[in-house]
Structure 1
């Protein structure tokens, strides 16, 4: 079993509450996946938030209803203000879609095949954390494949300039 620089303790590449990536295993939510059991790791984005999609759909239907209603009234009897309001209202679903996508973005997902079955290993809406976990998994797989396990490239030692 590969050991870290601490002599027997696996090298930890990432650790936060509920999630640990070592050179030997990926541990998330109490589930342990040996690094050698993770095949074809890949990333994906989850489906858009269903609540956001419903809000945009309802908004589009509402503005379409308003436009149809005004159309039955007679477009020739509408004033300039009505045309401007109708044109502005047509953009509401588009603005809502952009705003909700920004406020509630799809989650980042990390998948791998475990014993031949696609398995969701990790999901988060934080892009920075997702990048850290993904890089840790890549480094762990490289270490497991090569058998070369040592100190991680980045350690916690802070560089100090030499004293004069």
Structure 2
């Protein structure tokens, strides 16, 4: 499941963060990373079962914080797309940026890239490349809903609630 989730999110991270790993190498990379986390006693691996070592979870929390705002931004855009699949690219970019600004004000996010329209523009280009949107801007609803749902599972409940409320205002 972890490998599946990483494979779904990675194309967006790769584009935004200029990562060099190829998609076909991700499964091995995930296994190596999980093995290293186990070696560092941050997680316990037992076959396909993974448990976080609660007595040594601080490094994982810190690692998670490095990607939280990016996942929030992706979640805004994907959930907007699910709610309003008929909106054009520029309207989706603008609404995403507006919600990101609101989220930033309410949750103390000050990073300029969080609200940057260029970041949303790049994300929507990746949506087309990954076939969430076709060349005419039509949304693959099932695929988009699946990704939006995954992203929501990775967010803090209060952030998720803010995004949901902002989308439906």
TM-score scaled to structure 2, two decimals? 0.28
Q: 1 or 2 for the larger relative contact order (CA 8 Å, sep ≥6)?
A: 1
Where is the helix percentage greater, Structure 1 or Structure 2?
2
Task: Select the structure of larger CA radius of gyration.
Answer: 1
Where is the strand percentage greater, Structure 1 or Structure 2?
1
